[in-house]
Amino acid sequence: MCFALALAVMLAASPDDELASVAAVHGEAGPWAVAGYRMAKFAMKELGAAPGEVEVEHLSPKAVQYSCIADGAQAATKASVGKLSLKWTEVKGPELTQTVFRSAKTGKSLTLRPSAAFVKQYTNAPREKARENGQKVLGAPDADVFEVVR
């Protein structure tokens, strides 16, 4: 699929479709998984890459919340462990959580991490509010969800 067509399809998806994409991979569209989805969409746009053209390396503690970001990234990029395009690496502290997106075509990469405001708001958020919080994250400004690691 060409990039322009893939981008048009991604942009045409409704919020419910986007949340369903995250839930199809992760089981629910909670805030951390939706943050990974948002990060991946941003990265693909910046890298000029379509789903299937991005390699993802997610670094986080071995803890639910932080690891959920990888599932959201998978939902958007179509990267997977089985295709050897998705890798998770354990790091010791939550402050080291970040995700590296690399264009398989150009080798150009972009590293993103959850913003401090996102971490403060959604750390240990109640599971019964997962979808509600996921909807909020889906509609939030980029800077409220993630930041570029320089």
pLDDT at 13: 86
Instruction: Give the pLDDT of residue 12.
Output: 60
| Spatial distance between the Cα atoms of 111 and 43, rounded to a whole number of angstroms | 8
For the chain, state the CA radius of gyration: 14
Q: What is the pLDDT of residue 49?
A: 97
In tens digits, what is the pLDDT along the chain, a chain of 150 residues? 444 444 444 456 899 999 999 999 999 999 999 999 999 999 999 999 999 999 999 999 999 999 999 999 999 999 999 999 999 999 999 999 999 999 999 999 999 999 999 999 999 999 999 999 999 999 999 999 999 999
Q: Any idea where the domains of the chain sit in the sequence?
A: 13-148
CATH code for the domain defined by 13-148: 3.30.1330.130
Nearby residues of 50 by Cβ (< 8 Å), 6 or more positions away: 1, 2, 3, 6, 7, 44
